[in-house]
Amino acid sequence: MIAFRRWPVAALLAALVALSWPAIATDGSPPAPEFNLTNRAGGQLALSGLRGQVVMINFWASWCGPCRQEFPALDEMYRKYKPMGFTMVGINVESEKADAERFLGARPVSFPILFDPDNRVSGSYGVSAMPTTVLVDRQGRLRWQHRAYKPGDEAEYIEQIRAMLREKS
Amino acid sequence: MQLIRRAALLLLVPLAAHAGVLPEDRADLMYHYYDGGGVTIDGPSLLVRKKFAEKYAVNASYYVDMVSSASIDVITTASEYSEERTQYGVGFEYLRGKVTYAASFSNSSENDYDADTASVSVSQDMFGDLTTVALSFTRGWDDVTRHGDPAFADSIDRRIYGVDISQIATKRLILGFSYEAITEEGFLNNPYRQVRYVDPDAALGYSYEFERYPRTRTGNAFSLRARWYLPYRAALQADYRFYNDTWEISSSTAEVAYTHPFGEQWTFDVHYRFHDQDAAEFYSDLFPRENFQNFLARDKELATMQSHTLGFGVAYEFKPSRFDFLGKAAINLKYDRIHFDYDDFRDLRTTGVAPGTEPLYDFDANVVRLFFSGWF
Amino acid sequence: MKPARALAAVIALLAATGCSRIEPWVKPYEREAIADPIMAWDRDPVSSSYMRHVYESREGARGASGASGGGCGCN
């Protein structure tokens, strides 16, 4: 029997175990849910149109600190791997565009920004943390889902992207 | 003079309880000013916090009270004085997943009072980050001395247990509940303050003797609060707190606050607070004779009283051109006017009337905070 | 020691319930309003801790001022 004095420590450890946030590998991988959203650069962009490329989907909002922090790393990833068959979309989940536009005006990025104001796509991807970064392979299957962002997480993304780039279409 | 004995623990930086993300790096430099009831206190307050690797955070604080006191107690039983109290604090936070661990320490000192306070807390986000639960424990050690009496030395031992639960109820409403149990043991009164008793032989009709308090006090405080995001960009908050303790003080405090931003840079606040308390069981403005009972108090803080506060605040946020390392800065001005009203504490500056028939005391205080904040 | 034991029991209970799957009715991407800085309980800790001190040194009541939760709920 754990001595009473140790209860708080044991309880805290139990809490910690309950709350780890790993990246989940989705093998036996389901197809990534389709979407067709308004592109900030004009027109619409559909996921099916990106088939054959490795796609990274980043769900973000201007009010989300870690999302803003992640953007420079994502932008760099996009520039570096685009020539090799990689692409990225940043899906903004805010109900109105104004705050996102103001943020992007001050800190522009080169990858496409899409708007999901009614959160239907966020719902279909089961977004359960902000930010959420999802990786889709060349065959349109959902392979990796990353919840949350801490500086340094981009190393793991890069590893997974390079592995998927090596796979055949 | 025994300034604010609970000061040390009160000025501890509120422990960050945003598990998941640590609060932003920031520095605040404030000038604070209080003027009311013959007492003027002003001074600086500095607070700096910085995080590292999104996992660790450190904060440090420095605070000074420069007191010039001619309060009603002082005028009627002593002479005006001035004094200084200095407080230093430091705190650490560690964030792991959804749990934030925090520890802090502070020391407050003035020439006849020294207080050390240490605090630890754990805070966790759960249920999809809709609920945050924080548990805290604070320990205080105060050393009490008396000016002009080197033989006198005593202490207070203090423990505070706290639970704080916050719940996001809807997309626009967040609720909060707090409970704190505060227990103190030791020399809980003021070594200078005196009570009065009826004395037909005295010129004024009453005489003084030193106050005597119990050596323990345990109190419970429960509070509920709610904050709404209104249909337009503004917020409304309501708070209620109930307190009672073993000295039989029982009180209710309620507050309503409204925050209204204008454009991207201006924010206005207005709030009203009401506090109502019953006197401590051993409190009296005038005891019938000397040494009337075991415990005697005439501290107006323990009297049957109400306080009303009306406060305003304005903040202007900007991007400083000169200091590049600051991403954002703000200048804030807040003003509060507090009216203190006593039902059983009398104004002894009125003489020549029968003891116990002096007018009841009340006074107004002006409290000003002017501060500059920088985020980096 | 009693309050500490009670607290420990509360932590253990909450840790256990934290394992269960309750679907949040406000999704992480719906927290725009809650994440707005004007919705913070305590926007200026240096000022609010000072006011708490002003009241607690002049009134007989203290405690339970609390300030946790809310925010963006990120990470």
Average pLDDT, chain B: 92
Question: Measured in Å, how far apart are chain A's first and last C-alpha atoms?
Answer: 57
pLDDT of residue B322: 86
Give C32's contacts in chain A (Cβ within 8 Å). 61, 63, 94-95
Give C72's contacts in chain A (Cβ within 8 Å). 63-65, 130
Give B219's contacts in chain C (Cβ within 8 Å). 61-63
| pLDDT class of B317 with cuts at 50, 70, 90 | very high
Which chain A residues in 56-115 lie under 8 Å from chain B, judged by CB atoms? 65-66
Q: Which of B24, B94, B98, B233 to mutate to test the interface with A (most CBs of A within 10 A)?
A: B98
pLDDT of residue A23: 61
pLDDT of residue B296: 97
Q: Does A134 touch chain C (CB under 8 A)?
A: no
Q: Does C27 touch chain A (CB under 8 A)?
A: yes
Q: ipTM value of the model?
A: 0.92
Q: Which of B21, B131, B136 to mutate to test the interface with A (most CBs of A within 10 A)?
A: B21
pLDDT for C25-38, tens place per residue? 999 999 999 999 99
Q: Which chains touch B (3+ CB pairs under 8 A)? A: A, C
Binary contact (B124, A150; C-beta < 8 A): no
pLDDT of residue A144: 92
Which chain C residues in 19-58 lie under 8 Å from chain B, judged by CB atoms? 22-28, 30-34, 36, 38-39, 41-42, 44-58
The yes-or-no verdict on residue B51 having pLDDT over 80 is yes
pLDDT of residue B9: 40
CB A115 within 8 A of CB A92: yes
Q: Which of B25, B55, B124, B137 to mutate to test the interface with A (most CBs of A within 10 A)?
A: B124
Give C42's contacts in chain B (Cβ within 8 Å). 14
Q: How far is A169 from chain C (nearest CA, A)?
A: 32
Please give the structure tokens belonging to residue B304: 């049957």
* B97 → closest Cβ in A19, A65, A128: A19
Please state, for a pLDDT cut of 90, what percent of chain B lies above it.
Answer: 84
Match 């630890």 to its residue by tokens.
Answer: B120
Please state, for a pLDDT cut of 70, what percent of chain B lies above it.
Answer: 95
* Fold observed for domain B7-375: Porin (2.40.160)
What number is the average pLDDT over the span B183-212?
95
pLDDT for C40-72, tens place per residue? 999 999 999 999 999 999 999 998 987 777 788
pLDDT of residue A168: 74
Domains of chain A listed by start with CATH number: 22-166 (3.40.30.10)
* A61 → closest Cβ in C7, C32, C75: C32
pLDDT of residue C11: 58
| pLDDT class of B8 with cuts at 50, 70, 90 | very low
- pTM, two decimal places: 0.87
Give A93's contacts in chain C (Cβ within 8 Å). 29
pLDDT of residue C10: 61
The yes-or-no verdict on residue B3 having pLDDT over 80 is no
| pLDDT class of B102 with cuts at 50, 70, 90 | very high
Binary contact (C62, B221; C-beta < 8 A): yes
pLDDT of residue B217: 98
Amino acid at B163: V
| pLDDT class of B11 with cuts at 50, 70, 90 | very low
What number is the average pLDDT over the span B138-152?
94
pLDDT of residue A3: 53
More confident residue, A49 or B80: A49
Give C74's contacts in chain A (Cβ within 8 Å). 64-67, 129-131, 148-149
Q: Chains A, B: CB contacts under 8 A, how many?
A: 25
Binary contact (B32, C50; C-beta < 8 A): yes
Give C14's contacts in chain A (Cβ within 8 Å). 15
Q: Does A121 touch chain C (CB under 8 A)?
A: no
| d(C-alpha B190, C-alpha B213), whole Å | 9
pLDDT of residue B75: 78
pLDDT of residue C24: 86
Chain centroid, CA B202 distance in Å: 38
| d(C-alpha B347, C-alpha C29), whole Å | 59
Looking only at the bridges linking them, the beta strands covering B81-96 and B56-69 are antiparallel
pLDDT of residue A19: 46
CA separation (Å) from C11 to A12, A13, B319?
Answer: 7, 10, 43
Q: Does C28 touch chain A (CB under 8 A)?
A: yes
Mean pLDDT, each 10-residue run in order, chain A (169 residues) = 60 54 62 95 94 95 93 95 95 94 93 96 93 94 92 92 87
* B227 → closest Cβ in C14, C39, C49: C39
| pLDDT class of B19 with cuts at 50, 70, 90 | very low
The yes-or-no verdict on residue C7 having pLDDT over 90 is no
Give C11's contacts in chain A (Cβ within 8 Å). 8, 11-12, 15
| d(C-alpha B250, C-alpha B344), whole Å | 15
Question: Measured in Å, how far apart are chain B's first and last C-alpha atoms?
Answer: 39
Task: Return the biggest CA–CA distance within chain B.
Answer: 73
Give A150's contacts in chain B (Cβ within 8 Å). 53-55
Which chain A residues in 31-90 lie under 8 Å from chain C, judged by CB atoms? 59, 61, 63-67
What number is the average pLDDT over the span C17-21?
52
Q: Which residues contact A23 (CB under 8 A, 6 or more apart)?
A: A144, A145, A146, A147, A156
DSSP per-residue letters across B269-295 = EEEEEEEEEPPPTTB-SSBSSTT-SS-
Domain ranges of chain B: 7-375
